[in-house]
Each structure stands twice: as structure tokens, then as C-alpha cells.
Amino acid sequence: LQLPTKATHQQTREFNVRLALRTLYDSGPISRAEISRRTRLTRTTVSDVIAGLVADGLVEEVGRGPSSGGKAPILLRVVPDARQVIGLDLGEEAFTGALVDLRGEVRHEVSLPVGGRDGDDALALVDVLVERLLALADRPLLGIGVGTPGVIDAVTGVIRWAVNLDWQDLPLGRVLEERFGLPVQVVNDSRAAAVAVHTFGLAGARVSNLVAIKVGRGIGAGIVLGGELVHGDGFGAGEIGHLVVADSGERCRCGRSGCLETVASAGAIVRSARRGNGTGREWRTAQRLGLDEVLRDFQRGERRARTAVLAAGRYLGAAIAAIIGVMDIHRVVLHGSVTAFGDPWLDAVRDATGARALGLLTSGVRIDVVNERANLAVLGASAMLMTNQLGLSLAR
Amino acid sequence: LQLPTKATHQQTREFNVRLALRTLYDSGPISRAEISRRTRLTRTTVSDVIAGLVADGLVEEVGRGPSSGGKAPILLRVVPDARQVIGLDLGEEAFTGALVDLRGEVRHEVSLPVGGRDGDDALALVDVLVERLLALADRPLLGIGVGTPGVIDAVTGVIRWAVNLDWQDLPLGRVLEERFGLPVQVVNDSRAAAVAVHTFGLAGARVSNLVAIKVGRGIGAGIVLGGELVHGDGFGAGEIGHLVVADSGERCRCGRSGCLETVASAGAIVRSARRGNGTGREWRTAQRLGLDEVLRDFQRGERRARTAVLAAGRYLGAAIAAIIGVMDIHRVVLHGSVTAFGDPWLDAVRDATGARALGLLTSGVRIDVVNERANLAVLGASAMLMTNQLGLSLAR
């Protein structure tokens, strides 16, 4: 929690409200006395703050806990569906949106095909999606969280560069705030996914240090350290798709070669399995069409598909070994379309990580696939919005 | 600042003292009113806390600041030499110790050759070193900070594994605390160096995100993110010496091949320049004898020395590109014996980093050598001890 540099009475109160709410969110159901002990706020302040939260419908009493001698204390918890957030994922194929509650439950989901739209047309499609979800909301709305590929300034909500949508220096946060009169949080989709895993404890990973890696058309990660999302100096932390892991190989869209994306992404697998060697638009079409086909071949045990998939897994493992070697994070969560290749692929990832990382560092490492039907970018962008509005977790 | 889970009056007071002291340390000279504004503590609490710190000799008044209408406010600062810390660096060749003041100024330095001692003999040498420094101290002592190679549990002060000293699961922190009756902080030497750079603003790097890389016999890094030292789940964050950066190459002491240490360390340079190919003890002797010789050859422009040094620089650059790619940290500081190769080596490092890292991420990156006569591990271990005792910075 950041201390404001100039504290007014109003700021102090808001600070206390957020502190109490986060404590309840993380540790509830607990009593007022327990909140006071954990937050260092006085009993009077806690009672006052909780009264306000109960009046707002955010907190409720849920019975009594065990007595420690005197009267059994009343337990409190955050009401899961006290508020809803509109979460969006501006993916390459489709713009997906949902109404998400405070515990990450998805109430309604809407998906609109992008159909090649970019620029203003893509922005208009975002409007349509938000309008649809606004009509479905049946709880007070906290705001809109947007996950999108590209380099995003998560503080100002400016999309610096989203190549597929042809957006450059687009102040998407401000645009949506003005249009819908709601608070907006814009964040890179891979970063968002890591926040979702952390905040909602997906794949059993409610831990303070984790890396969540999206392995799909592109490859990107989100890093949570000490319960906080790592942004980096230029909001590029986790941009691991362009880690150089192969000594030679195909030219990457970034201009260099040997990048992780060229050897471990969905496209890399399709090209390797098909021995296709087109570039540019062709290349992307091949990716789009090919993954399901390769998956069928792979499941039938077809040799080329198998070789391609396992090689991709090994390259990813090498990159994970580097990440672990640098930061000593024990919890790695994988998601994205390539995880469909299942255990044989995951074993290749794990073996390569173990072979390339220092023994002392890998002994406690867990690499898992998160099996969520819900869209992680939608959940994570929602989680960041909730955190900014209510202070629910440390991931900002 | 961590909030204690159960706050007593005493803890609240200590929390306030640390908060005020850190604010003064980072931003002083400033007035009591300014401290109150920045910390959210009331004017009464600040006056009370400052009175205690002045009585303890930790804080002093240093004249008056500009008036904003009324009476010009009295400015306060932390007294740099109010306290001393014994800082130790348990290096492979020598155990070095110093008395360090609160601003990282070294008052006295003592160095004792290790002469191949290990186990209990090495521990006895630590005692001798501390005794010598105790005799030289001319200010109240805060405690002992110890930087040492190996994997260290920085919370409990247990050395899990320090291969050169043959120490395994040695509770060095507790041993020294009992022997000298002073608080002790034990930390890996590369981690410590990063804390020194951050806390004392060495190489102009008083920034909240930085990586400090020691390039000597071994290669290790310390990572500071958001003003806090990153420990990792097993205190191994920054153990980059065993990042695999070469597809083949000599066998590393960790059992694998292609590790950064085998291609970019002092020993790698000596072996490559000399085409020596011994292993084990021989290998280490070669390293010890050879670096100065290679440096002379390099400065004379001898071809093999030049090739070896620049290749080592390029491998380091590749590792830095990976670190930047993962965390997007813009400030990289290099130290250790290999930095003696100067600008040609540094240029090779920078060029390789630029060539392998994504353009968007490297545009703001600065890679510098820190030119400090003082021992960074000594300074950093001291800084961590000060921070634990007084709360001077966020790097714990």
C-alpha cells in the first residue's frame, strides 16, 4: 500500500477502507477484532470503516466464530457479487467480454469476431461489446478492465503499440472513460493473466511469486513478485517472446532470429509440422488454419507433428530455465492455445527446464497448465480494475 | 514497510520511528512539517519521534529552510557518522572488513588473506577480522553485516552452501550474534552489492529498479525492483552464473555446459586467452594467476587476449539481454575483476545486449561499470544491516 505524500482526512479514511477491505478479501471470514490486529487500525476505526462497507453492500456478516472465552465474535466477509466489472480481452480473432464478480466468477460472456478490423473500426467494435455487456449487468458496476496484446502504459491506459489492431499511442483508457463514464484499466493481456492467477488463486497459485506464460500465437508472460505485478521501467516486463533461445532459425517479426516466438509458439509448431515456409500474411494464415490439424495429427501419434510439438516444448523449457535462473520463482503457470497439446508437451517443457536450470533452483519448481474455461485476460483485467477501485490485492 | 500482524504500542512507535527516519534519509534535509506531510503521521507524533532521534544522536538540526510566509522551518537530517557498522566480505582470496558509516563512507578497512582456510579455520578467521574492527570502532556500533558467496538464507542468516569455504548449513548469523552480542545480517555478496548501489546511489543509480552484476571469478547478480531486493523463493534470485548462454562449451562446475560462468567469467577469459584446458584445482590456479597477465596482453593489443575478452563480453551481453527481456529493467551496473578490461569489453557487452534484446526494451537501457574503490559487498552487507536496524531503505 502506498502512502500518499500529502494526507488529508479523506485520504486517510480511504487508505483505511482499502486496508480493511484487502485484509477481509485475503483472509475473511474474520472478526472486527482480527482486522484490527492485522491492520494496526484501532477498534473504533475498524468498526467505523466496516459500518461504511456494510452500508455499501460490499461486506456482510456471516455468523459467529469460535469464542476465545467471552462472546463469540461476529465474522465478516466481502460479498462476492456486491459489484460487477466489465472485463474485455481484445484478442486477434475475437473481442471477448464478460461481467465478472469480485471473486472472479464470470456472469455473462460475449464474443465478437474481429474479422480483420483495425484502427477506428476495431475501436468501434469495442464500443459495441461494452454496450452489450452494460445491458446485461445486474449489479452496480465498478468499471471496465481491458486486456490487450501490445505494449501498454498500465498507469495512463495508453496503448503504445498494438501491431495487429494498428493502434499506436491510443489513449484507450481515457477514450472509454469519457464514452461510458466508468473507471477504466488497460493492461497487456499476458500481464493481466498473471494478475488473474494471483488474485483469484487459479491453478492453486495464490502465492506471492509467480510467472504466468501465455503460449499461443504469441508468447508473453506476466510476473508477480511479492504479490505485486512487475511492470518494468517501460511496461515491458514479461515480454519473453523475443528472448533469443535458438542460435539460428527463422527470422522473427521483430527483425532478429532465434526468438522464442519463432520456435515455441503456435505458429512455430504449425510451420515445423508442415514444413511450411511462407512469411507475412501467408504465415499468419497458416498459423490460424493449422493448429487444430496439427493437434489431431499429434494425438494420432503422427511423427512430424510429435517432433515439432516436443521441440517447441523444449525451447519453452529453456526460456523458463532462464526466467527461473534470473528470479528464482518456483511457481510457473502456462496457458494459451499451445497447452492443448497436453501432458507430452508439458513433460518436454518440464524436462528442458530441469536440464538447463541449476539444481538448487529447480528443486521446488512447479510448472502447471491452468485449466480455466474462463478467459484469463478478461479475469485479470477485471482483477486489476477491482484492485485499483477497491484495493483488493497488491497487484496493481 | 511491513505492517506487523499484532501491533502493540511499542511496535507502533517503532514503526513511526523507522518511517520518519527513512523519509529523512531519502529526502533530508527537510522540516518536521514536511516529514508529517510525507508520512501521514501527525505533527505531534513527528515532534515526539524526532525528539527521540535527536536525543539518540541519529538526527540533527541543520539550519532553516525557505519561509513560506511564516517563520522559516528548521531543517533536519540524519547524522552520517552517528553510527558505524562492521561490514565484511568473505571473498575467496581474502576476508575484507570495514567500518562503514550511515552514508556508506568507509572509515577503516582491514583485509586478511584466506590462505586456503575452510571450515572451522575459516570461521576462526572471521572472528579475528571482527575483533580487529571492533578495536578500531570510534562510534556506537549498529551491528555486523556479512556478504559472502553462496546460497544464503538472508532472513535466518544460515549459509546453505558456500562451496569454497566448505560451509554447509552454517548458521553464521546466530554464531556471530552470540559471540559478539551484536545484530548480524548475512547476505550473498552479489545481492549485497546491488543493495549498496541502490542505498548509496553508486554510479548515479539511486533508482528503484536495477540489476548489479558481479563479473569476476564467478558471475552473480542482485536485482532491486521497486526499491526492494528480490530474494526469490529460495534466496537464489540473481544466480545468473548458470544461465545457459552457449550451445556447447566446457563443462561447468555445476555439471552442465554452456553456463555463463564458463564463457564470460575471469577464468573463462584466462582459459580462452591461454587455450589452457585443465580442470579442478589446476583450473582455479590458472584463473588466479592469469587475469593480470591477460590484462597486460589485452592492453598491448595482443590478438588472442583481445578475442577472448570481447567474446566474453558478448556472452555477458546475451545474458543481460535475457534479463532485460524478462524484467524490463533499464539500469544495469557491472562490477568485479573483469570490468578492468574497460571500454572495449564494455562496448562488446553493450553491443551484444542491443543486438539480442527487443528494440522497444533496450532504448532506455544504461549499462555502466561502477568505479568504487570500496568493496561493494562490504558496503551492501552494511546497508542491509542498517536497514534492518533503522529502516533506512526498502532494500531488506
User: pLDDT at position A393, please?
Assistant: 73
A residues 255-274 closer than 8 Å to B (CB): 255-256
Is B128's Cβ below 8 Å from some Cβ in A? no
Minimum distance, in Å, between the CA of residue B207 and any CA atom of chain A? 10
Looking only at the bridges linking them, the beta strands covering A331-335 and A94-101 are: unpaired
Residue corresponding to grid cell 495512463: A156
| Mean per-residue pLDDT of chain B | 88
User: pLDDT at position A234, please?
Assistant: 85
Ranges A53-57, A178-182, B12-16, B195-199: which has the least confidence: B12-16
Nearest to B145 by CA among B334, B389, B374, B371: B389
Q: Could you tell me which chain B residue has the CA closest to the CA of A319?
A: B322
Q: Where are the alpha helices (DSSP H) in B328-392?
A: 342-356, 359-362, 376-390
User: pLDDT at position A42, please?
Assistant: 86
Instruction: Give percent of chain B above pLDDT 90.
Output: 58
pTM of the model: 0.86
Cis (ω within 30 of 0) for the bond into A29?
yes
Q: Which residues of A touch B40 (CB under 8 A)?
A: 3-4, 7, 11-12, 15
User: pLDDT at position B235, please?
Assistant: 85
Minimum distance, in Å, between the CA of residue B166 and any CA atom of chain A? 17
Query: Grid coordinates in use for A136?
Result: 446485461
- H/E element, B168: strand B167-170
User: pLDDT at position A335, please?
Assistant: 95
Low-confidence ranges of chain A (pLDDT < 50): 1-6, 276-279, 396
Instruction: Give percent of chain B above pLDDT 70.
Output: 91
> ipTM of this predicted complex?
0.83
Q: Are B159 and B169 in contact (CB under 8 A)?
A: yes
H helix count then E strand count, chain A: 13, 16
User: pLDDT at position A8, please?
Assistant: 61
Query: Grid coordinates in use for A56?
Result: 455499501
Minimum distance, in Å, between the CA of residue B107 and any CA atom of chain A? 34
Residues A379, A383, A386, CA angle at the centre, nearest 5°?
A: 140
Strand partners, B170: B159
Residue B63 CA to residue A283 CA, distance in Å, equals 70
Interchain proximity B326–A322, CB inside 8 Å: yes
Is A330's Cβ below 8 Å from some Cβ in B? yes
Residues A117, A122, A124, CA angle at the centre, nearest 5°?
A: 130
Query: Grid coordinates in use for A307?
Result: 517432433
User: pLDDT at position B183, please?
Assistant: 96
The arithmetic mean of pLDDT across residues B196-218, rounded, is 89
The arithmetic mean of pLDDT across residues B147-154, rounded, is 88
Residue A185 CA to residue A356 CA, distance in Å, equals 38
Nearest to A222 by CA among A199, A247, A245: A199
Looking only at the bridges linking them, the beta strands covering A167-170 and A158-162 are: antiparallel
User: pLDDT at position B364, please?
Assistant: 84
User: pLDDT at position B306, please?
Assistant: 94
Interchain proximity B358–A239, CB inside 8 Å: yes
Interchain proximity A3–B361, CB inside 8 Å: no
Ranges A271-285, A367-381, B44-58, B194-208: which has the least confidence: A271-285
Query: Grid coordinates in use for B270?
Result: 584466462
**pLDDT tens across B337-378, in order?**
999 999 999 999 999 998 887 665 567 899 999 976 778 999
Say if residue B1's pLDDT is above 70. Answer: no
SS3 state at A159: strand
User: pLDDT at position A187, please?
Assistant: 93
**pLDDT tens across B237-246, in order?**
998 998 888 8
Residue pairs between chains A and B whose CB atoms are closer than 8 Å: 153
Higher pLDDT residue, A282 or B291? B291
User: pLDDT at position B6, please?
Assistant: 47
Residue B42 CA to residue A355 CA, distance in Å, equals 56
Q: Which residues of B touch A163 (CB under 8 A)?
A: none
User: pLDDT at position B362, please?
Assistant: 61
Interchain proximity B328–A356, CB inside 8 Å: no
User: pLDDT at position A4, please?
Assistant: 44
Reported confidence tier of residue B294, pLDDT bands at 50, 70, 90:
very high
Query: Grid coordinates in use for A98?
Result: 464478460
Most confident range (mean pLDDT) of A152-156, A176-180, B89-93, B202-206 is A176-180
Higher pLDDT residue, B116 or A393? B116
Looking only at the bridges linking them, the beta strands covering A94-101 and A74-78 are: unpaired
Reported confidence tier of residue B275, pLDDT bands at 50, 70, 90:
low
Strand ranges, E, within chain A: 30-31, 59-64, 74-78, 84-90, 94-101, 106-113, 141-148, 151-153, 158-162, 167-170, 184-188, 210-215, 219-225, 228-229, 331-335, 366-369
Q: Which of B26, B328, B394 to mutate to test the interface with A (most CBs of A within 10 A)?
A: B328
- Biggest CA–CA distance in chain B, Å, is 76
Q: Are B202 and B370 in contact (CB under 8 A)?
A: yes
Give the list of residues 6+ apart from residue B193 with CB closer than 8 angstroms, or none: B147, B212, B214, B222, B335, B376, B377, B379, B380
Query: Grid coordinates in use for B279?
Result: 580442470
